[in-house]
């Protein structure tokens, strides 16, 4: 399963007020797409505006990165939100970033749920449906970036929402395809060479070793680097260099010459 192109994205725009997180300025030249925090887990209006402008400068596809309203927990705590609340919060965040993109002379390329909101939607159908429905109702043609083999993928496809399948070379996997919990030793990978090796396996073989043994096999359209990983820039550079050395071009999934 050797691909000729693959998207390389990162979660970014995650600073807030006087608090700075990540190195977007050095990370963005290495990417083809970016997922921008919309103020619920990180980000604020000025950070969103600046992040969109930086992404546009580098020609990146821009995605909205909605979350639970959880600034103190960085959106990584599951909240018992009713489906109508998840729907409204998701639609609100997509709309906010779309407004920023429009003002910058560009537009949204995709939506990708963040952290615990995404994790909840892997196995909780009402949450998955609310996210997919909000994306559909904002724009039926707007793709939703999802982890393969999850209920979020199922609900998106059921509603006719275009799907972009995403995997993470710097996160460990379980055999069933779920990301290993961050509390598990080895769940986050900080070595650029190891992340690059895994990214190449994902792009060319459609599989990755599972932390609990065996392999997880999948289809993939995009590889993600977490912008809050302290080695994000080095990892993205190593991943991109490894892919290109193998003849796999890094290109947005929305690029007319992709796939």
Q: What's the predicted TM-score (pTM) here? A: 0.94
Token representation of residue 81: 């939100």
Token representation of residue 170: 């710097």
Please indicate, yes or no, if residue 54 is contained in any of the structural domains. yes
pLDDT at residue 112, rounded to an integer: 98
The pLDDT-based confidence of 160 (bands split at 50, 70, 90) is very high
Q: Which residues pair with 171 in a beta bridge?
A: 188
Q: 253 pLDDT exceeds 70? A: yes
pLDDT above 70 covers a percentage of the chain that reads 98
Please indicate, yes or no, if residue 132 is contained in any of the structural domains. yes
Query: What is the number of domains present in the chain?
Result: 1
Please indicate, yes or no, if residue 256 is contained in any of the structural domains. no
Helices 232-245/192-205 angle, 10° precision:
40
Q: 51 pLDDT exceeds 80? A: yes
CB 173 within 8 A of CB 179: yes
Please indicate, yes or no, if residue 65 is contained in any of the structural domains. yes
Tell me the pLDDT tens digit for each residue of 59-78. 999 999 999 999 999 999 99
Q: How far is CA 91 from CA 15, 21, 98, 137, 171, in A?
A: 22, 25, 10, 8, 28
CATH code: domain of residue 73: 3.20.20.370
pLDDT at residue 255, rounded to an integer: 75
pLDDT at residue 178, rounded to an integer: 85
Please indicate, yes or no, if residue 259 is contained in any of the structural domains. no
The pLDDT-based confidence of 185 (bands split at 50, 70, 90) is confident
- Angle, CA 223 vertex, CA 219 and CA 228 arms, to 5°: 145
Distance separating alpha carbons of residues 158 and 144, to the nearest angstrom: 12
Distance separating alpha carbons of residues 234 and 13, to the nearest angstrom: 18
pLDDT at residue 259, rounded to an integer: 47
Dihedral, CA of residue 41, residue 47, residue 50 and residue 52, to nearest 10 = 20
Token representation of residue 11: 């979660």
Please indicate, yes or no, if residue 25 is contained in any of the structural domains. yes
Query: Could you tell me what percentage of the chain is helix, strand and coil, using 3-state DSSP and rounding each to the nearest 5?
Result: 40, 20, 40
Q: For residue 156, give its domain range.
A: 5-250
**Rounded to a whole number, what is the distance in angstroms from the first to the last CA of the chain?**
12
Tell me the pLDDT tens digit for each residue of 80-117. 999 999 999 999 999 999 999 999 999 999 999 999 99
Q: Average pLDDT over the chain, rounded to whole?
A: 95
- Give me the half-sphere count of Cα atoms (radius 13 Å) on the Cβ side of residue 215: 9
Please indicate, yes or no, if residue 67 is contained in any of the structural domains. yes
DSSP code string of 146-175: E-TTSHHHHHHHHTT--EEEEE-TTB-B-T
Please indicate, yes or no, if residue 257 is contained in any of the structural domains. no
Q: 10 pLDDT exceeds 70? A: yes
Distance separating alpha carbons of residues 130 and 128, to the nearest angstrom: 5
State mean pLDDT over 181-189: 87
- Give me the half-sphere count of Cα atoms (radius 13 Å) on the Cβ side of residue 193: 0
Which has more pLDDT, 258 or 230?
230
pLDDT at residue 256, rounded to an integer: 65
Tell me the pLDDT tens digit for each residue of 135-148. 999 999 999 999 99
């Amino acid at each position: 399963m050797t691909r000729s192109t693959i998207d390389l994205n990162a979660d970014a725009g995650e600073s807030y007020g006087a608090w700075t997180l990540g190195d977007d300025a050095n990370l963005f030249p290495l990417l083809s797409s970016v997922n921008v925090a919309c103020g619920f887990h990180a980000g604020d209006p000025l950070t969103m505006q600046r992040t969109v402008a930086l992404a546009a400068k580098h020609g990146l596809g821009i995605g909205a990165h909605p979350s639970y309203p959880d600034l103190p927990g960085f959106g990584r705590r599951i909240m018992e939100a009713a489906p109508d609340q998840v729907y409204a919060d998701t639609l609100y965040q997509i709309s906010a970033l779309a407004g920023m993109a429009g003002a910058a002379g560009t537009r949204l390329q995709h939506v990708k749920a963040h952290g615990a909101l995404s994790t909840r939607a892997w196995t909780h159908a009402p949450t998955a449906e609310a996210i997919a429905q909000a994306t559909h109702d904002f724009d039926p043609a707007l793709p939703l970036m999802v982890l393969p083999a999850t209920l979020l993928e199922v609900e998106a496809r059921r509603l006719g929402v275009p799907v972009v399948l995403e995997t993470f070379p710097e996160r460990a996997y379980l055999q069933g395809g779920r990301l290993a919990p961050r509390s598990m030793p080895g769940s986050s990978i900080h070595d650029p060479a190891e992340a690059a090796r895994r990214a190449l396996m994902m792009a060319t073989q459609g599989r990755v070793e599972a932390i609990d043994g065996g392999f997880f096999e999948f289809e993939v359209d995009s590889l993600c680097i977490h912008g809050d990983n302290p080695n994000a820039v080095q990892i993205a550079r190593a991943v991109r260099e490894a892919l290109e050395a193998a003849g796999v071009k890094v290109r947005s999934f929305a690029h007319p010459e992709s796939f």
